[in-house]
Structure 1
Amino acid sequence: MTEQQRLTDRKREAIVQAAIAEFRANGFDATSVDKVAARAEVSKRTLYNHFPSKDELFAEILRVLWDSSASRMDLPYHADEPLEAQLLALVMQKMALLSDDNFLDLARVAIAAAMHSPARAKDMISRLGEKEGGMLAWIRAAQKDGRLKAGDAPLAVQQLESLVKGVAFWPQVAMGQPKLTPREQRKLAASTVALFLSHHTA
């Protein structure tokens, strides 16, 4: 990698981190490209070279969040290990992401932006939907192995995540409730896994 490429990459990363801070602090509508450029200490022209619009910049932030969550969820299926322990580890990783302050703040920004622009929300969701999460890959592998019932794997993921998010995400994002304590997270994870496996185990 050339020095010029390294400089370009550093500027792009500075823009992304500045945008995260601005969107967290001010929301989507009140965040301007000028503010992001100033915080990143780059020219507005440089910012536009990387991101043609504020929508593109916000979509990149969501992608970074998704990639972060996907890396946390990268626990492959093991045919010789108990399903409960594997799924419990996946659910606990999911809750670690959902309790991250940065993630919660940006989720609020994304939800608010989506309410003002359904078209923007559809575009964001379609971008994220192009990626397959670790939870989905794990469930498909367990189904293929015959240890989980065959069926609609994406629906199974939605059911599992809904059990978690209904307690450990939506109340915090929508109603300002406090995050779960580590003990509460473990209790929720255990009950979620037990309920899921009681229905889906082959």
Structure 2
Amino acid sequence: MTAPQRLTDRKREAIIQAAISEFRSNGFEITSMDRIAATAGVSKRTVYNHFPSKEELFAEILNQLWTRISTEQASAYQPDQPLREQLRHMLLGKLQMMADDNFLDLARVAIAATIHSPERAQNMVARMSEREESVTVWIRAAQADGRLKPVDPEFAAHQLQGLLKSFAFWPQISLGQPTLDNATQNTVVDAALDMFLACYQL
């Protein structure tokens, strides 16, 4: 990589980090590209060179956060391993993600930013859905191996993760409840697995 490219990458990263700080502190509506530029120590023109709009910048932050966490928690399907243990590892990873302060803060900002703008919400969801989610990929592989019923993998993944979010995401986002301790995380995961496998395992 050449020196100018490294400088460009550093500026882009500085913009993203500044935007995360501003969005977390002030919310989506109040945060401006001017403030982000000032916090990043770059010109507003530089910010717009990297991100044509505030919506694009925020979508990129959510995408990066999702990608990083998905990469850390992704597990390839293993045909010689019990389904329950494989899924348990993935779901505990999801709960750790939902307990991350950065993730929860940005999720609150995203929800507030989209609640009055269905178009903005659709755009953000579309951006974050560009890559297929790891649980969906895993379910499809288990189906191909003849170990899960042939339900729509996206539907089944959404259903499974909804069981987690009802305890470990929505109460924290909407009611300010504390994140789950380790014992409660295990209880929630085991109950979700009981329901999922009873319904879909062959």
Displaced runs of 4 or more, over 4 A: none
Q: 1:134 maps to what in 2?
A: 134
Are residues 1:161 and 2:161 paired?
A: yes
Residue 70 of structure 1, CA deviation: 1.7
Matches of 1:166 and 1:101 in 2, distance apart?
18
Instruction: Please tell me the root mean square deviation across aligned C-alpha atoms, in Å.
Output: 0.8
The alignment-based identity, stated in percent, is: 54
The answer (yes or no) to whether the contact 1:97–1:103 under 8 Å persists in 2 is: yes
Q: 2:61 maps to what in 1?
A: 61
Residue 69 of structure 1, CA deviation: 2.4
Matches of 1:59 and 1:199 in 2, distance apart?
35
Unaligned runs of 5+ in 1: none
Alignment of 1:65-104 (within 5 A): 65-104=65-104
Alignment of 1:19-58 (within 5 A): 19-58=19-58
Q: Structure 2 counterpart of 1:16, which letter?
A: I
Of 136-145 and 59-68, more deviation after overlay is shown by 59-68
TM-score for the superposition, normalised by structure 2: 0.98
Q: Can you list the C-alpha shifts for 1:41-96, whole angstroms capped at 9, x where unaligned?
A: 11111111101111111111111112112202320000000011000001001111
The answer (yes or no) to whether the contact 1:73–1:133 under 8 Å persists in 2 is: no
Q: 2:14 maps to what in 1?
A: 14
Q: Structure 1 counterpart of 2:101, which letter?
A: D
Q: Structure 1 counterpart of 2:195, which letter?
A: L
Q: How many residues align?
A: 202
TM-score for the superposition, normalised by structure 1: 0.98
